Amino acid sequence: MNETHQLAERVSDVTYEDIPDEAIDHAKRSIRNFVGLTLHGSIHPVGETVGSYLEALGVEGDATIIGRGSADPTRAAFANGTFGHVLEYDDTFESVVIHPSCTAFPAALATAESVDAAGRDLLTGYVVGADVIFRVGRSVAPTHWQSGWHATATIGVFGATAAAASILGLETEVTERALGLAGSFSSGLKKNIGTQANPIHCGHAAGSGVKAALLAREGAEADNAIFEGEYGYGNVATREGRYDPSDITEPTVEWAILDNALKPYPTGVVVHSAMESLRSILEREDLKPDDVKRITAEVDEGVLDTIDQHDPQNAMAAVVSYEFGLGAILRNRDVGINELTDEYVRDPDTRRAMAKVHLDPRSELFGTAEAEASYGARVTVETVDGRTFEAEMRSAPGGASNPLPEARWIEKFYACAETVLDRSSSEHLSETIDRIDEQGALEELTAIVEQR
């Protein structure tokens, strides 16, 4: 089907002028969301570890490490990709369970800085990178994930490569070779989700994408049809003949960034329908933790393949725990960065709330999502005085099919950004991202986020 060529051709051909206004607007919203998260991630324990690692290497360069200075493009992309995913708070496609920004945006930012590109080029590379992640991700779902691969990382490297190739202005044939290199750089095991390796996967993919594009630009050779054939990525990365190249050549949406959903809570996206449903019951009935006897969540049995931490003892494990997500909602009616600490996870009040949560796995609840499992959930709350309340949500809150008020995203951005910046700088950053496609705005953005 010649899908590698068609994908590379799109990467090379798309210009800023080709992208519709609604896609540009949502790309800016997604960037603001990710940059806020990355600022907070720079001071997270994982961010401190990565910062120490880079200091030990003694690296220098002109690409911004958000919240931590600068480095060469590959290492800056690595750092920012890691920082942005430390809490599982970054965005996720609605149609396939992959986080696009933690690989595509860090690669786009680092590459744009390395060649003094404009903000319009950054936006174009980011949007194109998201397109590639969406197309490749759909083509290998669901068996790629079910085989134990961490798709955000393994597929994200292709999007990072595409973002960098777009900004570098690589021709189609060179982009084909860059994608070929990315196929060999693809890595990340689902086994490591729930540990600090999880966000590092994303950083590795972001940095490797920049490396693949730069190597190809300098003449490095690789198979220029990496997705095709018996030993092509498509067949190797799936099982049972489930690779579908038409998802690459004929995607279900033209601009994948419009399928990108922001996340209201720092936990796995498949927990969010239950969390939002429980929140609505608690607020409507004004229930306190001591009023609740039992919480039952009917969930698609497929989500338990990854959301499998039923007794998490630290924050990294809590992000993939249904019990923690619902327990924290019961305790606080919200979950944000302040709840994602080891101390909060181990607090007796949190443990008591988690103990009231019970899961009821169902086969294809509400019908499955097109990738791994349904995002929907049905929640039943039983009170100590014998009352019962129920709420359900069939798609995760935060995307086009189940939008949340813009105020939720603004509040989230400031909560994250202000762990590093003051309110004035955070406001300046938000305003700068809104006009990132204007002359000089990219340089203004990087000057703000280099602060520590």
Q: Report the C-alpha gap between 175 and 14 in whole angstroms.
A: 13
Mark whether 237 and 123 lie in a shared domain: yes
Single-letter code of the amino acid located at 448: I
Residues pairing with 390 in the sheet: 380
Q: Report the C-alpha gap between 32 and 57 in whole angstroms.
A: 30
Mark whether 122 and 156 lie in a shared domain: yes
Single-letter code of the amino acid located at 374: S
Q: Which helix (H) or strand (E) holds 357?
A: strand 357-362
Mark whether 252 and 278 lie in a shared domain: no
Mark whether 177 and 277 lie in a shared domain: no
Mark whether 73 and 96 lie in a shared domain: yes
Mark whether 294 and 257 lie in a shared domain: no
Task: Indicate the pTM of the whole model.
Answer: 0.96
Q: What is the dihedral of CA 350, 34, 369, 231, to 10 degrees?
A: -120
Tens of each residue's pLDDT in the chain, 452 residues: 799 999 999 999 999 999 999 999 999 999 999 999 999 999 999 999 999 999 999 878 999 999 999 999 999 999 999 999 999 999 999 999 999 999 999 999 999 999 999 999 999 999 999 999 999 999 999 999 999 999 999 999 999 999 999 999 999 999 999 999 999 999 999 999 999 999 999 999 999 999 999 999 999 999 999 999 999 999 999 998 899 999 999 999 999 999 999 999 999 999 999 999 999 999 999 999 999 999 999 998 888 878 889 999 999 999 999 999 999 999 999 999 999 999 999 999 999 999 999 999 988 777 644 445 568 999 999 999 999 999 999 989 999 999 999 999 999 999 999 999 999 999 999 999 999 999 999 999 999 998 66
Is the separation of the CB atoms in 52 and 68 below 8 Å?
Answer: no
- On whether residue 408 sits in a domain, the answer given is no
- On whether residue 432 sits in a domain, the answer given is no
Q: Is 450 exposed, middle or buried (0-12, 13-18, 19+ CB in 10 A)?
A: middle
- How many domains is the chain partitioned into structurally? 2
| pLDDT reported for residue 451 | 65
Q: Report the C-alpha gap between 158 and 128 in whole angstroms.
A: 11
Quote the domain boundaries for residue 306: 269-393
DSSP-derived pairing of the beta strands 357-362 and 292-300 = parallel
- On whether residue 48 sits in a domain, the answer given is yes
The domain boundary, picked from 362, 378, 393, lies at 393
Is the separation of the CB atoms in 127 and 27 below 8 Å?
Answer: yes
**Encoding tokens for residue 5?**
């060529």
Is the separation of the CB atoms in 283 and 41 below 8 Å?
Answer: no
Of 130, 169, 119, nearest in space to 446 by CA: 119
Of 68, 47, 165, nearest in space to 446 by CA: 68
Mark whether 283 and 188 lie in a shared domain: no
The domain boundary, picked from 373, 393, 413, lies at 393
Is the separation of the CB atoms in 218 and 178 below 8 Å?
Answer: no
Is the separation of the CB atoms in 246 and 11 below 8 Å?
Answer: no
| pLDDT reported for residue 371 | 46
For CA atoms 403, 155, 182, 1, give the dihedral sign: negative
Mark whether 281 and 234 lie in a shared domain: no
The domain boundary, picked from 363, 393, 423, lies at 393
- Terminal CA-CA length for the chain: 49
Q: Report the C-alpha gap between 154 and 190 in whole angstroms.
A: 10
**Encoding tokens for residue 448?**
């703000």
Identify the CATH number of the domain in which residue 289 sits.
Answer: 3.30.1330.120
| pLDDT reported for residue 374 | 67
Residues pairing with 298 in the sheet: 360, 378
Q: Report the C-alpha gap between 243 and 144 in whole angstroms.
A: 9
Mark whether 194 and 307 lie in a shared domain: no
Is the separation of the CB atoms in 391 and 279 below 8 Å?
Answer: no
Mark whether 301 and 219 lie in a shared domain: no
Mark whether 104 and 227 lie in a shared domain: yes
Using DSSP, state whether 70 is helix, strand or coil: strand
